[in-house]
Structure 1
Amino acid sequence: MVLPFKHEPFTDFTVESNISEFKSALEKVQGELGQEYPLIINGEKIYTDDKLSSYNPADKSQLIGKVSKATKEHVDQAMDSALEAFKTWSSWTAAERADVLYKAAAIVRRRKHEFSAWLVYDAGKPWNQADGDTAEGIDFMEYYARQMVELEKGKEINDRANEQNTYFYQAMGPGVTIPPWNFAFAIVAGTTVGPIVAGNPVLLKPSENTPVIAYKLAEVLEEAGLPKGVLNFVPGDPAEIGDYLVDHKDTHFINFTGSRATGTRIMERAAKVQEGQTFLKRVVAEMGGKDTIIVDKDADLDLAADSIVNSAFGFSGQKCSACSRAVIHEDVYDEVLEKSIALTEKLIRVGNPADKNVYMGAVVNQKQFDKIKEYIEIGKNEGQLAFGGETDDAKGYFVHPTIFKDVDPEARIMQEEIFGPVVGFAKASNFDELLEIANNTEYGLTGAVISNNRSHLNKARYSFNVGNLYFNRGCTAAIVGYHPFGGFKMSGTDSKAGGPDYLQHFLEAKMVSETF
């Protein structure tokens, strides 16, 4: 008997036994650092001379692992394997495919701290963030398994006299998953197992920043009984194989999470029909955000400060949902700013999460560090530095929480995605102006409104133009099955990951009518 979906609980790190168990997991993983990992094509492990090297963002000298790099020839081999696997995998019942995901979720659940420890090292995640990442990956496997069992039943449509009509879903064919580094287990898991449980083999090209934890997912799915060829693990240089994966004539879908620039490039390339291609490719793209928390004059100001600080600085602001804009009614602006600075000062400690439980670790790599540092310098000319601004890349890529005040809503730091622990404060004179500023970017992913004015909340419900809108809480931390995730405008295709419509992106609806 399969139980109803239930969100995987988070670990309470105020409990001493949990702390001790997590430290043991960190020690175990530390003993496994520096290993080499292969490609996986048709169930075969293939080692190549050319490798991707992953280093701890908080300790640049610490090698996490070396992962073999795929070439275009490997992509062709993987696609041939996927096409062959599709013939049988697509014929499995939804319940049979779901069983593989249930088993995989159970394996990860038993080894939860171990997977989170890999995230600490491979992605630089603090303990709480790593634990949430692993829990979300488990949730994706459990939730999508149940959703596919329901979808297999099809949808009810009408019959006529002497005519029976059925409406059902079937798998599309092989596709490509290109996940990001910031949720290096959760999004990798969700974007991979969603298409797979729908009956489609996947070529997985993980981020070159976090390939080791992605390989661990592939191992788990193999252990859970996933047939060879259904998941082919093909990490590599985006410049070498990225376009090739997207352009391939047998790629039925591209499931992408990442930057706006890469997402729009994929959309453009996928639209071109290649020689030998007999279908239109489907693109699912989640492409980032520039997310705003509105604070009304009639609001709980302590809640406002807590929402802004945790949404802005959780995982060093390296979330597409992170709050990088706080737009506050002028009557309470100074008080919310003061409370936010005080809370940041009290709450946030920066350090290496492999050494101890800290609030913020390092940002992912030198490129991101340099980008964020440059935006901090830009911010000093566009507003007033109210808190933080320190950076240090001597040992790791550390950027301290940074708050700018009195920033023009049209300023670059209020319009461009920084993807770091930087938040700009702006003020407005009324609720309409607060909403107008919140909507003035090209993105439309998440947003939040802190207010006790019901008419204002009702107005925001339909006028705040984002895919995920939260009232009286922060704008991050969507939970699978509770907060289906995806945005409007240049934030992507509004795929609503972790929701009841997601798997339909990887299925073809079919109608059969029989006359008697």
Structure 2
Amino acid sequence: MQEFINEAFTDFSNDLHANEMKRAIEEVRKQLGKSYVNYIGGQAITKDETFASINPSNKEELIGQFPKATTDDVTLAIEAASKHFETWSKTPASQRAQFLFDAATLMRKRKHWFSAWMMFETGKTWVEADADTAEAIDFMEFYAREMLRLSKGQELTKIPGEDNELSYRPLGVGAIIPPWNFPLAICVGMTTAALVCGNTVVLKPSSDSPTVAYHFVELMREVGLPEGVLNFVTGSGSQVGDHLVSHPKIRFISFTGSREVGLRVNELAAKTHPEQKWIKRLVAEMGGKDAIVVDEGTDVDEVSTGIVAAAFGFQGQKCSACSRAIIHESMYDQVVSAVIEKTKKITIGDPTDRQTQFGPVISSRAFEKIKEYIEIG
């Protein structure tokens, strides 16, 4: 098997690639406004009560309409995942890995199509969306290879009179709660990592990016992933999310999001219930306030370019964004002046436009919060 190689980013200076992306954008534009379903145990579920996913660049444009799942729906999804865990966990690692390889191959063929959905639903520019899709492909390719490696066991120190071995076992049903800011990459990464290890999951995407997650679920169905292994529910975090992470049959939780929500997930997961057999395992990646430190003697042009790119890439909506610049007093005036001048040159606009470098923030909530920080400054 070929060694893992990161998926290449698309060179949009090549007219062939640029035109392919333009066609994908127009194809997706024609598909906006549809109603979607949840999947529980392989069955498509609709609800009378729904919520809308809206284009942050155009509040009048509907991306998709989604069911508002109830706590009963979540319970059914967990029960379905628990039932199918019995067979999925016993499926050979090589077969589980093959589903990821197949999905990565198919996503690669539809790379621009997935990227276009992110432009419309989350306001990612061409470059940001392309990188997100590439990372999603990377996760599947890498995790599949790692599963094949781990399934072979591990060499242990030989001790006379002892016969020891080390093997890895699937945990059970996992709750996967990805963020909206990497709606494909992190969603795919957290979900497929759990699946390839023999776990079954209930995926609850952010209400700001359910359409991207839905198309990933459809991709997994298309490559033949057994029904009930990947269950998909949409709805509010306060209702659906709380019930999901609190349920006694949830064995582990993979969460990426805000510190506030992450701490709540941690609190709920730590509480045990009478019918609960295990202590839940939680993987939580939460937001931070990253800094770039500028020492004296630094190249002003280089560091100011880096600060602007890190601070304003995807409108600064990343846990890795530069939220602070800590600058040596001897460099302060020069660096701040250069950052201001370069920031003024950023092209703001619709992310489906190739020239746009800075699109919308995800929601009115985010917009108001940013205004508060500006006032503080």
Structure 2 counterpart of 1:188:
187
CA deviation vs aligned residue, 1:367-406 (integer Å, no higher than 9, x gap) = 1111111211121xxxxxxxxxxxxxxxxxxxxxxxxxxx
Superposition map of 1:352-367 within 5 A: 352-367=350-365
Superposition map of 1:443-458 within 5 A: none
Could you tell which deviates more after superposition, 10-19 or 25-34? 10-19
1:369 to 355, 367, 370: 367
Structure 1 counterpart of 2:72:
73
Q: Partner amino acid for 2:357?
A: Y
Ranges in structure 1 where 5+ consecutive residues have no aligned partner: 380-516
Q: Matches of 2:149 and 2:185 in 1, distance apart? A: 23
Q: Matches of 1:142 and 1:247 in 2, distance apart? A: 32
**Preserved contact between residue 347 and residue 355 of structure 2 (Cα < 8 Å):** no
Structure 2 counterpart of 1:177:
176
Structure 2 counterpart of 1:313:
312
Structure 1 counterpart of 2:95:
96
**Preserved contact between residue 10 and residue 17 of structure 2 (Cα < 8 Å):** yes
Q: Matches of 2:140 and 2:304 in 1, distance apart? A: 34
Structure 2 counterpart of 1:156:
155
Cα drift, residue 355 of structure 1: 4.1
Is the aligned partner of 1:350 residue 2:355? no
Q: Matches of 2:90 and 2:373 in 1, distance apart? A: 51
Size of the aligned set, in residue pairs, is 377
Superposition map of 1:246-325 within 5 A: 246-325=245-324
Q: Matches of 1:240 and 1:285 in 2, distance apart? A: 19
**Preserved contact between residue 90 and residue 200 of structure 1 (Cα < 8 Å):** yes
Is the aligned partner of 1:23 residue 2:22? yes
**Preserved contact between residue 122 and residue 362 of structure 2 (Cα < 8 Å):** yes
Cα drift, residue 356 of structure 1: 4.3
**Preserved contact between residue 39 and residue 69 of structure 1 (Cα < 8 Å):** no
Q: Matches of 1:133 and 1:238 in 2, distance apart? A: 24
Structure 2 counterpart of 1:129:
128
Q: Matches of 2:269 and 2:153 in 1, distance apart? A: 28
Q: Matches of 1:148 and 1:300 in 2, distance apart? A: 44
- TM-score, normalised with respect to structure 1: 0.72
Q: Partner amino acid for 1:111?
A: R
**Preserved contact between residue 266 and residue 282 of structure 2 (Cα < 8 Å):** yes
Cα drift, residue 50 of structure 1: 1.4
Structure 2 counterpart of 1:432:
none
Q: Matches of 2:298 and 2:354 in 1, distance apart? A: 36
Cα drift, residue 238 of structure 1: 1.2
Q: Partner amino acid for 2:266?
A: M
Is the aligned partner of 1:56 residue 2:55? yes
Cα drift, residue 250 of structure 1: 0.3
Q: Matches of 1:349 and 1:78 in 2, distance apart? A: 44
- TM-score, normalised with respect to structure 2: 0.98
Q: Partner amino acid for 1:310?
A: A
Q: Matches of 1:3 and 1:41 in 2, distance apart? A: 36
Q: Matches of 1:283 and 1:74 in 2, distance apart? A: 22
Ranges in structure 2 where 5+ consecutive residues have no aligned partner: none
Paired residue secondary structure (1:170): coil
Q: Matches of 1:168 and 1:189 in 2, distance apart? A: 25
Structure 1 counterpart of 2:11:
12
Paired residue secondary structure (1:276): coil
Q: Matches of 1:301 and 1:171 in 2, distance apart? A: 51
* Higher relative strand content: 1
Structure 1 counterpart of 2:236:
237
Is the aligned partner of 1:142 residue 2:126? no
Q: Matches of 2:75 and 2:344 in 1, distance apart? A: 53
**Preserved contact between residue 175 and residue 254 of structure 2 (Cα < 8 Å):** yes
Paired residue secondary structure (2:166): strand
Superposition map of 1:385-424 within 5 A: none
**Preserved contact between residue 351 and residue 358 of structure 1 (Cα < 8 Å):** yes
Q: Matches of 1:83 and 1:297 in 2, distance apart? A: 58
Q: Partner amino acid for 2:310?
A: S
Q: Matches of 2:68 and 2:108 in 1, distance apart? A: 29
Cα drift, residue 125 of structure 1: 0.7
Cα drift, residue 354 of structure 1: 2.4
Q: Partner amino acid for 1:366?
A: S
Cα drift, residue 275 of structure 1: 1.8
CA deviation vs aligned residue, 1:124-160 (integer Å, no higher than 9, x gap) = 1111001011111111111111111111123222233
Q: Matches of 2:276 and 2:154 in 1, distance apart? A: 30
Q: Partner amino acid for 1:146?
A: R
**Preserved contact between residue 71 and residue 243 of structure 2 (Cα < 8 Å):** yes
Is the aligned partner of 1:341 residue 2:348? no
**Preserved contact between residue 177 and residue 256 of structure 1 (Cα < 8 Å):** yes
Cα drift, residue 321 of structure 1: 0.8
Cα drift, residue 267 of structure 1: 0.9
Structure 1 counterpart of 2:113:
114
Q: Matches of 2:297 and 2:372 in 1, distance apart? A: 36
Q: Matches of 1:277 and 1:242 in 2, distance apart? A: 18
Q: Matches of 1:302 and 1:236 in 2, distance apart? A: 46
Paired residue secondary structure (2:62): strand
Structure 1 counterpart of 2:199:
200
Which contiguous aligned blocks of 4+ residues in structure 1 show a shift greater than 6 angstroms? none
Q: Partner amino acid for 2:51?
A: L
Q: Matches of 2:289 and 2:372 in 1, distance apart? A: 17
Q: Partner amino acid for 2:89?
A: S
Cα drift, residue 285 of structure 1: 0.2
CA RMSD, Structure 1 to Structure 2 (Å): 1.1
Cα drift, residue 69 of structure 1: 2.0
Paired residue secondary structure (1:285): strand
Q: Partner amino acid for 1:247?
A: S
Superposition map of 1:204-223 within 5 A: 204-223=203-222
Cα drift, residue 54 of structure 1: 0.5
**Preserved contact between residue 42 and residue 81 of structure 1 (Cα < 8 Å):** yes
Paired residue secondary structure (1:62): strand
**Preserved contact between residue 349 and residue 356 of structure 2 (Cα < 8 Å):** yes
Structure 2 counterpart of 1:42:
41
Q: Matches of 1:72 and 1:123 in 2, distance apart? A: 27
Cα drift, residue 298 of structure 1: 2.8
CA deviation vs aligned residue, 1:62-120 (integer Å, no higher than 9, x gap) = 00011112111111111111111111111112211110000001111000000000000
